[in-house]
Structure 1
């Protein structure tokens, strides 16, 4: 094999690695967002159990679950303030 062929193979492998990483990173972000959304839905469920005693509930939908999943407790407070204002 000539050195040009070896360099071409190495360049091809490097390009394949770069393309693979570009495809893996968005999938990793989507999986993290999905897991955070599920956790947010669970948090909203428990908030509605406790808040139901006081007459305050927040609807559980995908947008609210993602907001709570990403922001955590401040997300619950944000949704509560938005519900009280609107």
Structure 2
């Protein structure tokens, strides 16, 4: 698909949402979820950056990002424990 058409569709949808108004609760829920996923990916990135000196590496994928984003630091610790203590 042509990038101009894709950008036009996205801009059109944004304009329609601005004119009609979006339902507030679902948009707030989606926004909070997106922020939590970004924070989870950032925590995994920091773990991988700092953990290189301790030989700790956790892959950054959708499942690990969801666990670390929605559960926070305890979820990140659980991922590390599961990877290094339970799995061979």
- TM-score in terms of structure 1 length: 0.67
Of structures 1 and 2, the one with the larger relative CO (CA 8 A, separation 6+) is 1
- Structure 2: gaps (5+ residues): 1-20
- The structure whose Rg is larger is 1
Structure 1 runs (4+) deviating above 2 angstroms are none
- TM-score in terms of structure 2 length: 0.65
Alignment of 1:1-86 (within 5 A): 23-84=23-84, 85-86=86-87
RMSD, aligned CA = 1.8
SS state of the match for residue 57, structure 1? coil
Q: Which has the higher helix share?
A: 1
- Structure 1: gaps (5+ residues): 1-19
SS state of the match for residue 31, structure 2? helix
